Each structure stands twice: as structure tokens, then as C-alpha cells.
Amino acid sequence: MNNETVIVLDFGGQYNQLIARRVRECNVYCEVHPYTLSLEKIKEMNPKGIIFTGGPNSVYDEESPRYERAILELGIPVLGICYGSQLMAYLLDGKVATAPVSEYGKTEVEVDSSSKLFDGVQKSTICWMSHTDYIATAPEGFKITATTPVCPVAAMENEEKKLYAVQFHPEVLHTQEGSKMLHNFLYNVCECTGDWKMDSFVEKSIEAIREKVGDGKVLCALSGGVDSSVAAVMLSKAVGKQLTCVFVDHGLLRKNEGDEVEAVFGPNGNYDLNFIRVNAQERFYNKLAGKTEPEEKRKIIGEEFIRVFEEEAKKIGAVDFLVQGTIYPDVIESGLGKSAVIKSHHNVGGLPECVDFKEIIEPLRDLFKDEVRKAGLELGIPEYLVFRQPFPGPGLAVRIIGEVTAEKVKIVQEADAIYREEIEKAGLSRNIGQYFAALTNMRSVGVMGDFRTYDYAVALRAVLTSDFMTAEAAEIPWEVLSKVTTRIVNEVKHVNRVMYDCTGKPPATIEFE
């Protein structure tokens, strides 16, 4: 689509996606590539700027990821971050050494605010440091533009050659003025104009899809989740009734979810498309009867899902295009270049093999989750769908310990609906990464009225996370937990205890299976 582009060269840092997201937040399109991307390819891409990420290595290790010095001679602005800054110093014959003390965490940094990079940044500013090595001596022609008591070169630059380096991490929120620094790099140094905006992305994508599809037939597996919903609406705006969406209700959805999806996408809904809802609850419950092992349950659901979808697809006949809701984090090559494998993520595992189609359309392939949400709002999708909690494909089956039965599904649906309602009422929903109720397989003795009960314990989970790879338990105010508990034991049959899961990930996972 020919947007101004910045390339993030990945040297194995843990924040590479975060850098790309921060750049995108400044309205500049940005792609993450492994450090093995060739110089030729880089030239061809004609980027406005290049960012070297951090990484766990030391530039002097034989195995460390490096890049040829010529990348610094293209006249394209480069910003090196942490390991990337050391690499820049190393390539230009500066001196990198092991710091006398490693700096880790929030650190006060003195910056030279006459630098283009630090324009408008306070003279003394808090930055996030995480390093063992540091630049001991800047290369010739470089000016030192920031220091800490430990780091003689916390930032350096060669303005004429447009080369900039920072030892700290401007992309993490702990660096208080990090966004300003990245913005300065993009606008003051790379001279970007900021042409990456969701309204024009949506408009251009719709046009491109229309052109690609022509009068072809399109099929989409709709789950009601954010990604597939946004993809479906984009397709519907582009090609209308040439699109058929198949929504499989496996009986493991959240309370009222099936009807909500149908209300939006069905015949009385907001969009011009063919909508098929398959009510396959009984089929899934029958297959799951007696199964208790979490992986086995997942496999059964995955397989059955494909079977149901396949049957529907057969009725529709051959299609030209299959829509998938793949998003950018699924596409980014992981780890270090050489052996990097692109995650082959399918929102509904294995679908392409069972459907007779010519080509896949992935309209959200370039977007991060927050951008998918913005695109969703641009497309006029209701907010409650756009800001939906992440919900796993196997649904409530991964929130029910032990055998899945219709009765247990009902219990967890009701408890979860109460929990979500109270979290929303308390205004906490946007601050918590993910929250839900799960049903433990534990039953215990309780007393209700004058009667003995022997009922289930519901577990409440709420975690703070930015990447879903690690998470910590959220501190939900006691009044909220207490209200949720009272409501669940009063309103949901067969529950006499409510517990709060205080475990982080690791050692637990986010889901409760």
C-alpha cells in the first residue's frame, strides 16, 4: 500500500514487537524483520528509517547476531536500542565493554535536549535500563547526548550521518518520555509525515479486496471474536453477498454469545452478507462425554469443529477465497533470523485443508491487536464486540476442569456473566488483560438456609498482561470480589464456594484447564 515504512531489525530482543507497536502509534507503518534481512532487500524497501532492537548477546561473542557495516552508510537514519546501540558502536570502531555494574530498571538519565532525538525531553528523565555491556567509548564523529552515573554513553549520535543510539529502552512505558523520543526519531530525524492511519487503511483495504475478489465467492469462519468479526465486516463492505460467514455454535460459548453474534451478523443484523449459524451443541457434548484430559478435550473440539465446517462448506460448494483473521503478531518471524520460523497460526486450526478454495485472504495480516480494534471501530462494529475479552477457540471447555457437561457449561456461563458484569460496572474492564470465571471440579460441603449442600467451587481469574506470554494476578478490589461472590452463590445453582486465583503465569497458565 506504499506507506512510509520503518524497518525494525530484530536482534533477538524481547521488546521487538513493542517497538513496532510504538512506531505504529506514531502513525508510521513499521515492519519487524530478522537481522538476516539482506541489504539488497532493505534498499528495495526504501525505508524512512531503521531501528536495531536490543538482544541478549554481547557484540564480542562469536555467535552474536551482527549486520554488515554498509547498513550505516546508506544515508537512511538508524536508531540503535540497547544491544542495537552497542552494535552500532562496535561496527564503527567505538568501544563496547562489560559495565562495572549492570543497570536494571528505572534509571535517571541526563540528556542533552538540544539533540533532535531529545527535543522537548526533560534534562533529567527516567528511562528503563537492562544491560550488562555498555558503550565505553563512542565512535569517532559521534557526540554523547546522554549519560548516567554508570553509563558514560547512555546515548550518542552522529547527526550528519543520521545515526542515533540509546542504551535504554524508549519503547517500554517505564521510560517516561520514551514515546516522545521515538516520535522525535520518526519525525525530526526520519522526516516521516505520519501516513499510517486506520481510516485510510480500512478504505484502501476494502478497495484492494474488491479488486482481488472480482465476482468470486468468499467463505469466512466467524467465531464472534474480534479478529474474525473485523475481517468479516471488511469483506462484507467490500463484496457484500458474495461473502458467506459460517458461525459454529459449539455450545461452549459465553452466556448469550451465540445470539449476540447472530444479532449482529445474522439476517436481521447490521451487515449485507450470507450468514449460516450451525447449532452443534449436542454434537460437541456427545463427543466430550466422559473425557477429562485437557489436551484430549482440545483435540476433540478442534476436530469436530473442522468436521462441522467441512459439512457446511460442502453445501456451499467450491469457493474462490477463504478469509482468515491472522494478525501481525502471528506473522512476525520469531527469534533470531537464521532458524526463524513463521508461526503458522490459523484461527480455526486446520481449516484450509478441508475446504475447496483457491486463495486465502488475510485482511488483518499487517495489524496489531489494538489496530484491529481501531479498524473495527472505523468499520462501525459495536464497541462491545470490538473490546471483547480474548476468548479461546475451544471455549468454555478450557475453563471447566474434568468432564464437560451441559450442566457445567451452564454454571460457568452464569458465573462468568455475573463476574464480567460486575467488573464492567466497577470500571475495571479496560485495565485488566483478561478475566473470566472457571469451574473447578471440586465439590464441597456448604450450608444454605438450613440445608446441607454439596456443590461446586467457582474460580475467578483476572490477570494483567501485555503479551499473554507472562501475566500476574490482578488486584481486584475486595468490595468487587465480595459482591461477585455473593451474587454467584445466590444466583447460580450448584455453586457454594467462590475462589480467587492469585497465581501468575508462569507457573500457571492464563486459562484454567
**Residues with catalytic roles:** 82, 169, 171
Say how many Å lie between the first and final Cα of the chain, rounded. Answer: 42
| Distance of closest approach, residue 221 Cβ to ligand XMP, in angstroms | 12
List contacts with ligand XMP (CB under 6 A). 390, 392-394, 434, 468, 505, 509-511
Q: Which is nearer to ligand XMP, 13 or 394 (CB)?
A: 394
Q: Which is nearer to ligand XMP, 95 or 505 (CB)?
A: 505
The residue type of 178 is G
Q: Which is nearer to ligand XMP, 80 or 394 (CB)?
A: 394
Q: Which is nearer to ligand XMP, 285 or 468 (CB)?
A: 468
Task: Please tell me the distance from the alpha carbon of residue 294 to that of residue 296, in angstroms, as a whole number.
Answer: 5
Q: Which is nearer to ligand XMP, 91 or 322 (CB)?
A: 322
The beta-strand segments (E) located in 173-261 are 218-221, 243-249
Element (H, E) at 155: strand 155-158
Handedness of CA 408, 414, 415, 416 (dihedral sign): positive
| Distance of closest approach, residue 243 Cβ to ligand XMP, in angstroms | 22
Residue 75 burial (C-beta neighbours within 10 Å; 0-12, 13-18, 19+): exposed
Q: Which is nearer to ligand XMP, 322 or 336 (CB)?
A: 322
Question: Quick check: helix, strand or coil at residue 411?
Answer: helix
DSSP secondary structure string, 318-385? --SEEE----HHHHSPPSSSTT-------SSTTHHHHS--SEEE-TTTT--HHHHHHHHHHTT--HHH
| Distance of closest approach, residue 388 Cβ to ligand XMP, in angstroms | 12
Distance (Å) of CA 282 to CA 250, 328, 395, 406, 455 = 8, 35, 15, 9, 25
Q: Which is nearer to ligand XMP, 110 or 513 (CB)?
A: 513
| Distance of closest approach, residue 441 Cβ to ligand XMP, in angstroms | 17
Residue 368 in contact with residue 328, Cβ under 8 Å? yes
Task: Please tell me the distance from the alpha carbon of residue 139 to that of residue 382, in angstroms, as a whole number.
Answer: 54
Task: Please tell me the distance from the alpha carbon of residue 500 to that of residue 461, in angstroms, as a whole number.
Answer: 6
| Distance of closest approach, residue 412 Cβ to ligand XMP, in angstroms | 14
Task: Please tell me the distance from the alpha carbon of residue 88 to that of residue 69, in angstroms, as a whole number.
Answer: 8
CB-hemisphere CA count at 13 Å for 108?
Answer: 3
| Distance of closest approach, residue 506 Cβ to ligand XMP, in angstroms | 9
Handedness of CA 374, 375, 379, 381 (dihedral sign): negative
| Distance of closest approach, residue 395 Cβ to ligand XMP, in angstroms | 9
Q: Which is nearer to ligand XMP, 392 or 402 (CB)?
A: 392
| Distance of closest approach, residue 32 Cβ to ligand XMP, in angstroms | 20
Residue 323 burial (C-beta neighbours within 10 Å; 0-12, 13-18, 19+): buried
Geometric angle at alpha carbon 91, from 55 and 49, rounded to 5°? 70
